[in-house]
Amino acid sequence: MYDLSYVKKRRRKKIAALVSLFTAVGITSLVIISFLGRTVGTFSVKLTNSDVKLSLSEKISFKDATSYLHFDSVPTLRETSFVNLPSHDYLDNEDTPVMNDETVIKNEKGEIESIYFIKYTFYIRNVGNSIARYNLSINITDSQKSNDGTNRYVDDTLRIMVYENDPAVAGSHDYKVYAKESDQYNYDKDGNRTMREFVSIIPSDHKEDPDNGYILADSFISSSVAARYEVGNFAKNDVKRYTLVVWLEGEDPDTDNSDEPPEGATLKLGVDIAAYENA
C-alpha cells in the first residue's frame, strides 16, 4: 500500500452496477450490469478438464467444492483508487467477504447503498492422479461503448488485480495489476518509452517511480484478453490460490471531465481455465 497523500482530492462518480456471483466446481459466474441495469455483461470462470481432473473451491479446505454457490444483490459500483484499497493481507484472504466494511458505503439508515470494488478469492486443486498443467486466461469477451454521445468504454478505466500464490507459503501475496494501454507515451522506471498505463496516479513527467507510488500496470494482452497465466507440473493435491480484485480507477485520465457515468456502456469478462496432462 502507498501513502494516501498521493491521492488527489477528487469527486467520486458513480456507475450503477448489480453483481451476482456464482461459484461451482466447474463454473463460476459474476454478472455485472454496468449502468442502471440496461444491459447485462458477464464475468465467468469456467474450468475445462481434459486428461486430468482439477477442482475449484472458495475455501482451502475444499469442503464447499459443490456444484453451485452464489451471492447476489451487490449495490452501485463507485470509482475508487488503487491506494484506497485495503491491505494485501485483507484482500487476498478467503475469510474476507466481498460485502464487508472496507468495501461498502452505507446510508444514514445503515443500509448498503454502494460498493467500491469487487473482490473474489478461489482455489484450484489437482484432484486427479496425473501431473497437470493448466492455462488461465482473463478474457474481455465484449466491450460496448456508451450510448450517451461520449463514446466511453468501461474498460477505459478498468483495473484488474490478480493475486496468484501457493497457499502453503504463509503471507505470500504476489500480484499484478492489468489495465488497458494508455493513449499517450509513458516511461518505465528505466526510462524506456511505453504505452503501459499507470495503475493509478500519473506523475507530471509520466515516468514510473515505484518509491513514490507511481506504478505502471501490465497491459491487457489484446482487446479480447486481459491477462494469461500458465501453470505446469501441477502435481496431485497441489493447490493454487487466486484472488481477483476489479475496480474503476478514479485517477485514470479517461475519468477527467466526466460528470456522468458512461450510460449504456457494458463489459463482459471471462476467466477460462483449461487443464491438460503435463507434457
Question: Average pLDDT, whole number, for the chain?
Answer: 77
pLDDT level of residue 68 (50, 70, 90 thresholds)? very low
What is the pLDDT at residue 48?
Answer: 65
* Domain membership flag for residue 152: yes
Query: Could you give the CA distance from residue 36 to residue 263 in angstroms, rounded to a whole number?
Result: 8
Contacts 24+ apart (CB under 8 A), 222-225: 223/140, 223/143, 224/139, 224/140, 224/141, 225/137, 225/138, 225/139, 225/140
* Domain membership flag for residue 41: yes
Share of the chain above pLDDT 70, in %: 74
* Domain membership flag for residue 194: no
- C-alpha to C-alpha distances, 57 to 83, 89, 118, 123, 172, nearest whole angstrom: 29, 19, 18, 5, 19
Query: Could you give the CA distance from residue 249 to residue 79 in angstroms, rounded to a whole number?
Result: 6
What is the pLDDT at residue 45?
Answer: 59
Domains: count for the chain: 1
Q: What is the pLDDT of residues 84-95, one digit of tens each?
A: 999 999 999 999
* C-beta separation of 54 from 44 below 8 A: no
pLDDT of 4 strictly over 80:
no
What is the pLDDT at residue 28?
Answer: 28
* Domain membership flag for residue 256: yes
* Domain membership flag for residue 158: yes
The pTM of this model reads 0.80
What is the pLDDT at residue 151?
Answer: 82
* Domain membership flag for residue 198: no
What is the pLDDT at residue 24?
Answer: 25
Q: What is the pLDDT of residues 102-146, one digit of tens each?
A: 777 788 888 877 778 888 888 999 988 899 999 998 888 777 787
Q: What is the pLDDT of residues 219-270, one digit of tens each?
A: 999 988 999 999 999 999 999 999 989 888 889 887 764 555 566 777 777 7
* C-beta separation of 208 from 214 below 8 A: yes
Other CB atoms closer than 10 Å to residue 175's CB: what's the count?
14
What is the pLDDT at residue 117?
Answer: 85
Cell of 191: 526510462
Q: Which helix (H) or strand (E) holds 240?
A: strand 239-248
Residue numbers of the domain that contains 105: 4-180+220-277
Q: What is the pLDDT of residues 168-219, one digit of tens each?
A: 999 999 999 999 999 999 999 999 999 999 999 999 999 999 999 999 999 9
* Domain membership flag for residue 188: no
* Domain membership flag for residue 147: yes
pLDDT of 54 strictly over 60:
yes
Query: Could you give the CA distance from residue 171 to residue 1 in angstroms, rounded to a whole number?
Result: 15
- C-alpha to C-alpha distances, 53 to 25, 44, 81, 86, 257, nearest whole angstrom: 11, 20, 38, 34, 50
pLDDT level of residue 159 (50, 70, 90 thresholds)? very high
What is the pLDDT at residue 260?
Answer: 57
